[in-house]
Amino acid sequence: MSASVTEPVVDPSVVWTEAGERLMAAAAAADPSALPAWFVERQAAARATYEQLAAPKRKDEHWRFSDLKKLDVSAAIPGSPFTGADATAAVTRSVGLSHPAARIVLGNDMLLHADTAAADGIVVMPLMEALQVHGELIKSHFMAQSAGLGGEKFFSLHAAALRGGVFVYIPPGIEVDRPVELHQWLGGMNASTFPHTLVVAGRGAKVTVIDYFQSLGSEPGFACGVTDLAAGEGATITYVNCQRWSRKVRALHFVSTTAGPNSTVRSAFLHLGAAWARTESFCLASGSGSRSEMLSLAVAEGTQEIDCRTRQIHDQPHTFSNLLFKNVLFDQARTIFSGLILVEEGAHYTDAYQTCRNLLLSEEAEANALPGLEINADQVKCSHGSTSAPLDGEQIYYLRSRGIRESDARQLLALGFCLDVIQRLGDPDLEHVLSSMVEEKFRRMRKA
Amino acid sequence: MSLAINNLHARTGQRDILKGLTLEVPSGEVHAIMGPNGSGKSTLAKVLAGHEDYEVTAGTATLDGADILAMEADERSRAGLFLAFQYPIEIPGVSNANFLRAALQARQPEGVELDAVAFYHKMYAKMDVLEMNRQFTSRSVNEGFSGGEKKRNEILQLMMLEPKFAVLDETDSGLDIDALKVVAQGVNAMRSPERGFLVITHYQRLLDYIQPDVVHVLMDGRIVKTGGPDLALKLEAQGYDWLKEEVLVTA
Ligand SMILES: Nc1ncnc2c1ncn2[C@@H]1O[C@H](COP(=O)(O)OP(=O)(O)O)[C@@H](O)[C@H]1O
Ligand SMILES: [Mg+2]
């Protein structure tokens, strides 16, 4: 035996095994009689898959550039229900747009508040409750496809540990003119959350859903969420996710979009919080005439790492997809964009575009981009590209020539870089809410 | 009170562009600078406005006695100097209104917020003078603007910032006659005993609408001749060749 004392080497797979057991236990303890059999089976299968799959390694193709050391879950525990002052605080702090069609507030995946009075004819309810009433509808959309972007182990973890979430269903022909707002809170030391948002829009239906992810305090935590968007024929879904976890949270999120014939699906991610956040987005243009737009904006500072992996899949002719991911990097922040457009055989007349733009505001920041394109059909219009650049000197000068101080000029331009993404949502009220969040982050950073 | 430039030498890279330029614009006066392409007119404007491409190697420039060459570009603006650029650049994502607000906010004392209502009133009033559509307030600065719209936007900034001295660099180029009249109207509305103008132009045409008190001719980095408004007419009719000869004779 060696006498030397060395740092204990923690095997990541052991960490994940132990963390998984802790996190899945809470869901496994739920009363199975209150849930549809398929769901109980699905969770059990997910548990098995989770245990079977290896923890990711940096060498894996889908984890290139990712700093896996930052995804430390050794201390993660299931979140406890919010009580007393915490519950009240979460509800009062759940402020988004004025007069939403519906507002749901969850704390560590448990319902704190539901205001669905104005949601006439639509379904907005906690997922576990919805499973009992709309089980069959949920079954056909629930985590129907894995993005295949490297996070399968965590995708399974989500399915197995899930005990909260929200189901939004818009029946055919109904257009909801005000957004549905979901506030999903995380609170408590090392607490974990498994936010789940399933949006199903029937034929010709229309809805906007805004998902706010926030931490009650500044403790470390773990979030592993899923969003599924299913647009029926001619339906329109706009989904906005504001990720504002505390700066000590590690977060993974899986988004999958299925765009039916002539449907329009827009998803936008605003990454402001978390120490480490990874999003795997998958969009399937499965219906002729469908249009899907994927947007993302990350403002990363300090040692934040924002990792976005995307896949745009076209398997029917005459479909359109457009992706714009932008990152603003300060300090030693890191971002990763890895995207693939895949045009399957027979998906002729596909229009698919992909752009990643990085604004480097520090020489120590690091933006990685891996754009990709695979075309197996004819008459296709595709493009992809990525740029990384600091602010334009002539633009800074122009602002300064009008008396604006250099630091203000830089901030104004950085904000301008961000607004471009937000404005694509085409909703001035929403634009105001989202840009205020970005501005607030900039302000906080300047004070620090 | 004046904008006084004395023996100014400036270069970019290895190349000397201004070679001992001297000129003084007293408050209340409008001076025109005319000169052939490439003579250094825009360079003079940008040197005054603190553009980093240019290095001043000798000479002085003062605004009401204050050494502007010692100031940062933004300080010069707050000290009361304004340059309407020959080629205004586009700033995607920053709305015209936010841009102007930031410029006015920068002039407020520490901790004092700009009065937003008064700001919009003022901006709309100025835009009316310039016959600018209100939609320009929410559009990104100069993005997708036509040449003429960009020039109007420069004059809007001039009217909002109310500088002590304004340098207008070929504000007339790219404008049709109607737009030129509108822009001139904006500039003329700004003329006052407290404010001086240095109007750079290639054509005499602008000076029909903005009448100068003094006309200078800039050639090869120096002022080679100074006269009254009639000098502009003579240049229009005869070009610059006669001056080149005159300069050669006296040199
Ligand atoms: N940034 C620059 N880099 C290199 N050359 C320049 C630059 N700015 C001006 N010049 C040169 O200096 C001369 C004067 O230019 P400019 O001041 O723009 O003239 P004008 O405005 O009178 O037409 C020209 O020959 C031009 O090419
Ligand atoms: Mg010029």
Over the stretch B103-125, which tens digit does the pLDDT of each residue have?
999 999 999 999 999 999 999 99
**Is the C-alpha dihedral spanning B216, B218, B219, B222 positive or negative?**
positive
Distance CA A357, CA A385 (A): 8
Alpha-carbon distances, residue B204 vs A79, B170, B228, B239 (angstroms): 77, 11, 13, 11
For residue A397, give the nearest of B51, B92, B107 by CB distance.
Answer: B51
DSSP string, A389-435: E---HHHHHHHHTTT--HHHHHHHHHHHHHHHHHHTT--HHHHHHHH
Distance CA A294, CA A269 (A): 8
Residue ranges with strand state E in B142-205? 165-169, 196-201
B116, with CB counted inside 10 A (0-12, 13-18, 19+), is exposed
For residue B83, give the nearest of A394, A401, A412 by CB distance.
Answer: A401
Domains of chain B: 2-250 (3.40.50.300)
- The ipTM is 0.96
Chain B's closest residue to A395, CA to CA, is B91
- Inter-chain residue contact B78 with A413, CB threshold 8 Å: no
Q: Nearest ligand to the C-alpha of residue B44?
A: 1
- For residue B223, the distance in angstroms to the closest alpha carbon of chain A comes to 25
Distance CA B219, CA B37 (A): 9
- Inter-chain residue contact B99 with A420, CB threshold 8 Å: no
**A372 CA distance to ligand 1 middle (Å):** 42
- Inter-chain residue contact B94 with A418, CB threshold 8 Å: no
Distance CA B200, CA B215 (A): 10
* Domain residue ranges in chain A: 2-390, 391-448
pLDDT (tens place) for every residue of chain A, 448 residues total: 444 555 555 677 788 899 999 999 988 888 888 899 999 999 999 999 999 999 998 889 999 999 998 888 899 999 999 999 999 999 999 999 988 999 999 999 999 999 987 777 899 999 999 999 999 999 999 999 887 899 999 999 999 999 999 999 999 999 999 999 999 999 999 999 999 999 999 999 999 999 999 999 999 999 999 999 999 999 999 999 999 999 999 999 999 999 999 999 999 999 999 999 999 999 998 889 999 999 999 999 999 999 999 999 999 999 999 999 999 999 999 999 999 999 999 999 999 999 999 999 999 999 999 999 999 999 999 999 999 999 999 999 999 999 999 999 999 999 999 998 998 998 999 999 999 999 999 988 877 7
Q: Is B129 on the interface with A (CB under 8 A)?
A: no
Residues with CB under 6 A from ligand 1: B 12, 15, 17, 35, 37-43, 53
Quote the pTM value. 0.89
- Inter-chain residue contact A397 with B106, CB threshold 8 Å: no
Q: Which residues of B touch A439 (CB under 8 A)?
A: none
